[in-house]
Structure 1
Amino acid sequence: MKLKFFILTLFPTLIFSQNSSFIYEMKFKPNSDSTKTEKIIYFLDVKNQESIFRSEKFRTSDSLRIKRGYGNSADMQFNNKQLYVYKKYDKNVVNKYVFIPFIEPKYTIKVKKNLIWKITNEKRKIGQYDCQKAETNYGGRKWFAWFTNEIPIQDGPYVFRGLPGLIVDISDENSDYYFKLGEVRHFLWKEFYLETSQNEISWEDFKKLQMNFYNNPFAVLNKSDVTNYDEAGNIVETDLKRMTESIQERIRNNNNPIELDQKLDY
Structure 2
Amino acid sequence: MKKIFLVLFLLSVLIIDAQSQRFVYEYRLVADSTAKKDVKTEIMYLDVSKKGSKFYSSEVAISDSMREDRIKKGIHDFSGINFGYIPFVVEKSYPDYKTLFFNSLDVDKYKVTDDRPQNWKILPDKEKIGEFTAQKATLDFGGRKWTAWFVTDIPIQDGPYKFHGLPGLIVKIEDKTNSHSFVLKEVKKRNEDWVTEGEKKSFTKVIPVNMETYKKQFIESRNNPTKGLRQMLASGTKVIMMGENGKPIEPEMMMKMREKEGKEENAKNNNLLELDLLK
TM-score by length of 2: 0.76
2:263 is matched with which residue: 211, 235, 248? 248
> Shift in Å at residue 21 of structure 1?
0.4
Name the residue aligned to 1:91: 96
Q: Residue 171 of structure 1 aligns to which amino acid in structure 2?
A: E
Could you tell me whether the CA contact under 8 Å between 1:226 and 1:238 is conserved in 2? Answer: no
2:135 is matched with which residue: 125, 132, 136? 132
CA distance in 2, matches of 1:51, 1:34: 33
Pairing 1:146-161 to 2, within 5 Å after superposition: 146-161=149-164
Could you tell me whether the CA contact under 8 Å between 2:242 and 2:248 is conserved in 1? Answer: no
> Shift in Å at residue 251 of structure 1?
2.4
CA distance in 1, matches of 2:50, 2:70: 26
CA distance in 1, matches of 2:263, 2:42: 23
Could you tell me whether the CA contact under 8 Å between 1:66 and 1:193 is conserved in 2? Answer: no
In structure 2, do the counterparts of structure 1 residues 260 and 194 end up closer, same or farther at CA, with 3 Å as the change threshold? same
Q: After superposition, give the CA deviation of every residue in 1:192-211 in whole Å (9 maximum; x if it has no partner).
A: 01121632113343244334
CA distance in 1, matches of 2:70, 2:255: 34
In structure 2, do the counterparts of structure 1 residues 63 and 153 end up closer, same or farther at CA, with 3 Å as the change threshold? farther
Which structure: greater helix fraction?
2
In structure 2, do the counterparts of structure 1 residues 186 and 239 end up closer, same or farther at CA, with 3 Å as the change threshold? closer
CA distance in 1, matches of 2:68, 2:196: 10
Could you tell me whether the CA contact under 8 Å between 2:241 and 2:248 is conserved in 1? Answer: no
> Shift in Å at residue 150 of structure 1?
1.4
> Shift in Å at residue 92 of structure 1?
3.1
Could you tell me whether the CA contact under 8 Å between 2:90 and 2:102 is conserved in 1? Answer: yes
For structure 1, the 5+ residue unaligned runs are 1-6
Name the residue aligned to 1:100: 105
Greater shift after overlay, 136-145 or 252-261?
Answer: 252-261
In structure 2, do the counterparts of structure 1 residues 130 and 238 end up closer, same or farther at CA, with 3 Å as the change threshold? same
Q: Residue 123 of structure 2 aligns to which amino acid in structure 1?
A: T
1:219 is paired with a residue whose SS is: helix
Question: Does structure 1 residue 111 correspond to structure 2 residue 114?
Answer: yes
CA distance in 1, matches of 2:149, 2:60: 26
Question: Does structure 1 residue 23 correspond to structure 2 residue 24?
Answer: yes
Could you tell me whether the CA contact under 8 Å between 1:229 and 1:235 is conserved in 2? Answer: no
Name the residue aligned to 1:219: 230
Percentage of identical aligned residues:
32
CA distance in 2, matches of 1:65, 1:139: 33
Name the residue aligned to 1:257: 272
CA distance in 2, matches of 1:110, 1:224: 30
For structure 2, the 5+ residue unaligned runs are 1-6, 73-77, 199-204
> Shift in Å at residue 256 of structure 1?
2.0
> Shift in Å at residue 180 of structure 1?
0.2
> Shift in Å at residue 83 of structure 1?
3.3
Name the residue aligned to 1:142: 145
Could you tell me whether the CA contact under 8 Å between 1:25 and 1:180 is conserved in 2? Answer: yes
Name the residue aligned to 2:211: 203
> Shift in Å at residue 111 of structure 1?
1.3
Could you tell me whether the CA contact under 8 Å between 2:100 and 2:112 is conserved in 1? Answer: yes
In structure 2, do the counterparts of structure 1 residues 211 and 127 end up closer, same or farther at CA, with 3 Å as the change threshold? closer
Q: Residue 84 of structure 1 aligns to which amino acid in structure 2?
A: V
Q: Residue 203 of structure 1 aligns to which amino acid in structure 2?
A: M
Name the residue aligned to 1:193: 195
Name the residue aligned to 2:123: 120
TM-score by length of 1: 0.79
Question: Does structure 1 residue 58 correspond to structure 2 residue 60?
Answer: yes
The number of residue pairs the alignment matches comes to 248
In structure 2, do the counterparts of structure 1 residues 220 and 60 end up closer, same or farther at CA, with 3 Å as the change threshold? farther
The CA RMSD over aligned residues, in Å, is 3.4
Question: Does structure 1 residue 42 correspond to structure 2 residue 44?
Answer: yes
1:131 is paired with a residue whose SS is: strand
CA distance in 1, matches of 2:207, 2:271: 25
> Shift in Å at residue 96 of structure 1?
1.1
> Shift in Å at residue 116 of structure 1?
1.0
